Structure 1
Amino acid sequence: MRKPRPSTPIGGNKISKPAEFIMVASTAMCTTALSSVVLGSFMCFLIVMCRRFGLDPDNIAPPVAGCLGDLVTLSILGLVATLHVSIVNTIIPLILVILLSLAAIGWVVVARRNTYVKDLLIQGWSPLFAAMIISSGTGLVLDTFVSRYTGFALIAVVITGLPGSVGSIFVSRLSTALHSAGTYRLPSLVDHAPHPKPRLVLMTLLVVSLPIQIVFLSVVYMFGWLHLSIVFAALEVMFFCITVLISLFLAQSATNILWSYNLDPDMYAMPLHSALMDLVGQSLLVACYELASLLGSKVRSRPAT
């Protein structure tokens, strides 16, 4: 069972002080900067390697970025936060905040002088803020139901992450096809194979993702991490397929709509799609647990004694 939340301090005194606030700000800024450098460098390397070995980056980059993004960022956050704890009462966090703020201003000036990337300074902010708001709702769903159902956190990662990755692949492939149809490409980069029909790609991604989910359920059952009834397992697979279908149709609709408004789907669709699928996936998982409970499966967590 999850530990209860800490109660509000008696007397209304705030726990955090300016030193703690600056430490948190410094931790967040350092983590963001380091994570951007690591992930950005890795993704550039991955794309170059895909082109070198004749692989399609659309099939590899989106799921890798989605999986490594959380893992790398949280790992760096833990390391940076641990280091900041020992310097919380020093001036070092404040110096880091000032230096990173000045560096951000300098990078904006440098980016504005680059004709290839200067447009990125004013594009893509709205989907990021919208995704942040949607993710807040996802956090509320997780916080509400994670202690109510057995294994909710374990299954939620897969029922949201895998459909989200599949949808990201679909967005990337559709976006590439749209850009290729309207943009001249160098002969050395031309893919002589025609782009497959979206419906074929959709069905392929659905068929590919289903065995992965079945293998996941088998692994967690064999290792004893989660005891699944036949009814719940069948319902979970069914709701997983529904989530994947929603993800794919949402990816196709968002890509086509954004393209019709001259907006880059790679920049606008992916953040919104990822955030929405986290919310949709967890909501459908709650419905799956409730339906399994109505059918007699013991899926609710036992209250703490």
Structure 2
Amino acid sequence: MRGEEVRQRRKEEQLGSEEQPLVREESPRQPAAGTVPWTSRERHPLDTAKPQEETALIIGLQVVIPFMLAGMGMTMAGMFLNYIQHWNVFVDIKELLTLVPSLVGLKGNLEMTLACRLSTAANTGIINDTQQKQKMISSNLALIQVQATVVGLLAAVVAILLEFISGQKVELSHIGVLCASSVLTAFMAALFLGIVMICVVLGAQKIRINPDNIATPIAAMLGDVVSLCILAGTSTILYRYIAKQSPSITEILKTGWFPIIIAMLISSLGGLIFNKTITQKKMIGMAVFTPLVNGVGGNLVSIQASRISTYLHSWSSPGVLPHNMRSFFPNPCHIFCSSDINSVSSRVLLFLVIPGHLVFLYIIYLIEGEDIKMHSLFVVFYLVAALSQVVILLYLAEMLVRVVWRQSQDPDSYSIPYLTGMGDLLGTSFLSLCFLFDSFFSDKMPMKNLNVVEPGLP
């Protein structure tokens, strides 16, 4: 009996060992050399990502209010720029006008990339841990302060060089005012708007709203006005008296300069166009409309780029594109007309352009009155220019985010600077063409056939 019990026990032990699956320990996947380790999660996002169904109605409801508020802020920025352009400091130091688009664009690049990184972290659950949240917030704030200070100085240098290239003489005292004003504006605006962005993303996470849909518009709502106010204040005061905590942040600090500097150069080209056209009689109103057109386009494309980036972070691995996003040059019909969630959001954003601009034009008309004349032909040209800008930017966003992701880089940090820079250049260029076409056809047609109307009623 004892021998039978021993044999039975051995059989049970053998059976138990056969039923246990072989467990193979795998080392965590390490990022390849040269890639951006933008998250510190031990597991891949695919392990914890949960599908979030967003209909066109939900996206529209979450986007429309921040979008309208952002447009209001840009409208106020345009009217404020139209007011301060006659201040002594802007009249005597013409280079400040060249600096405006690039400096305001810098604000957009830094704050919108910050908003995108935080939105992605919120949507993928990275900042649910308190310690990780504190580390990410502090390191990101330190990052944008360093970037703002350095690129603010570079923006002033580029503005000075562009004036030299165009044959203008720049006084030494003006160079000091320009550089100091640019650095102070970039630093102070980045600090204030960075804190606001952190509060917005954390607040949106608590009330269960997708931060991708609201963070960048709120940055746009405050950013232009804040940057212009600080620039005007610091430059006026100076003119009167002078006449590494996170590995991902460390990597961005090393490699994240190139897209921001290139975007600053692109925006500076738009600033040069703005400076050359603002003084022409047939371009009256350029100062009012430039921040609005550039801001709305950059705002909408930043929302789309942030959403695509979050989609890739949640459903794919760095360097690997999903099956439906393999092409670097996607069909425009797929981007704007398919049932894909990114296509739905692009249609929602595109449908906001015309009604949004009509509202903003009407506000400008009510406040400025006869100082800026707007007739039906100009409104048509203006809407065509604004719509064309956003269509091009949305297509570029889809293409650029795919390329950046395929290179194992973080789209939150690398794609938006290029897109906002292109938005500034396209917006300023299209707006200049809008004024030129309006002037040309106004000369060919009797003014009585061009009834001056309220912008909301072309």
The residue aligned with 1:278 is 424
In the aligned structure 1, how far is the partner of 2:287 from the partner of 2:184? 28
Normalising to structure 1: TM-score of the pair? 0.74
Normalising to structure 2: TM-score of the pair? 0.51
1:64 to 2:218 alignment: yes
Residue 120 of structure 1 and its aligned partner are, at CA, apart by 1.9
The residue aligned with 2:290 is 156
Alignment of 1:13-92 (within 5 A): 15-16=171-172, 28-81=182-235
CA 220–31 in structure 1, closer or farther in 2 if over 3 Å, else same? closer
Task: Give the alignment partner of residue 406 of structure 2, picking from 254, 260, 266.
Answer: 260
- Aligned-pair Cα RMSD in Å: 3.2
Residue 6 of structure 1 and its aligned partner are, at CA, apart by 5.2
Summarize deviations over 1:11-62 as a string: whole Å, max 9, x none. Answer: xx98536xx8777655554444433322222211111001011111111111
1:179 to 2:179 alignment: no
Alignment of 1:238-257 (within 5 A): 238-257=384-403
CA contact (8 A) 2:389 2:430 kept: yes
The residue aligned with 2:117 is none
Task: Give the alignment partner of residue 207 of structure 1, picking from 351, 361, 366.
Answer: 351
Letter in 2 for 1:179: H
In the aligned structure 1, how far is the partner of 2:179 from the partner of 2:376? 48
CA 88–242 in structure 1, closer or farther in 2 if over 3 Å, else same? closer
CA 114–239 in structure 1, closer or farther in 2 if over 3 Å, else same? closer
Moved more, 61-70 or 249-258: 61-70
In the aligned structure 1, how far is the partner of 2:380 from the partner of 2:236? 43
Letter in 2 for 1:170: Q
In the aligned structure 2, how far is the partner of 1:167 from the partner of 1:57? 15
SS of 2:374's partner is coil
1:147 to 2:279 alignment: yes
SS of 1:227's partner is coil
Residue 116 of structure 1 and its aligned partner are, at CA, apart by 4.5
The residue aligned with 2:265 is 133
CA 227–49 in structure 1, closer or farther in 2 if over 3 Å, else same? same
In the aligned structure 1, how far is the partner of 2:279 from the partner of 2:438? 17
Letter in 1 for 2:361: L
Moved more, 28-37 or 224-233: 28-37
Letter in 2 for 1:212: G
In the aligned structure 2, how far is the partner of 1:242 from the partner of 1:136? 21
Letter in 2 for 1:39: L
Summarize deviations over 1:37-88 as a string: whole Å, max 9, x none. Answer: 2222221111100101111111111122234233323333444456656876
SS of 2:356's partner is helix
Alignment of 1:210-225 (within 5 A): 210-223=354-367, 224=369, 225=371
CA 119–287 in structure 1, closer or farther in 2 if over 3 Å, else same? same
In the aligned structure 1, how far is the partner of 2:183 from the partner of 2:213? 31
The residue aligned with 1:10 is none
CA 159–120 in structure 1, closer or farther in 2 if over 3 Å, else same? same
The residue aligned with 1:107 is none
Letter in 1 for 2:209: L
In the aligned structure 1, how far is the partner of 2:398 from the partner of 2:213? 16
CA 130–204 in structure 1, closer or farther in 2 if over 3 Å, else same? same
Summarize deviations over 1:121-149 as a string: whole Å, max 9, x none. Answer: 21211001101111211111001111221
Moved more, 128-137 or 151-160: 151-160
CA 201–127 in structure 1, closer or farther in 2 if over 3 Å, else same? same
In the aligned structure 2, how far is the partner of 1:236 from the partner of 1:29? 33
Task: Give the alignment partner of residue 290 of structure 1, picking from 436, 439, 442.
Answer: 436
CA 77–257 in structure 1, closer or farther in 2 if over 3 Å, else same? same
Residue 230 of structure 1 and its aligned partner are, at CA, apart by 1.4
The residue aligned with 2:30 is none
CA 129–230 in structure 1, closer or farther in 2 if over 3 Å, else same? same
Gapped runs of 5+ residues in structure 2?
1-81, 94-168, 318-338, 451-458
In the aligned structure 1, how far is the partner of 2:91 from the partner of 2:238? 24
Letter in 2 for 1:216: F
CA 135–178 in structure 1, closer or farther in 2 if over 3 Å, else same? same
Summarize deviations over 1:221-273 as a string: whole Å, max 9, x none. Answer: 34414221211111211222111111211111111111111121111111111
Residue 196 of structure 1 and its aligned partner are, at CA, apart by 5.3
Gapped runs of 5+ residues in structure 1?
8-12, 90-110, 184-194, 300-305
Moved more, 257-266 or 116-125: 116-125
CA 219–258 in structure 1, closer or farther in 2 if over 3 Å, else same? same
Letter in 1 for 2:274: L
The residue aligned with 2:383 is 237
The residue aligned with 1:104 is none
Which of these two proteins has the greater Rg computed from alpha carbons? 2
In the aligned structure 2, how far is the partner of 1:85 from the partner of 1:293? 36
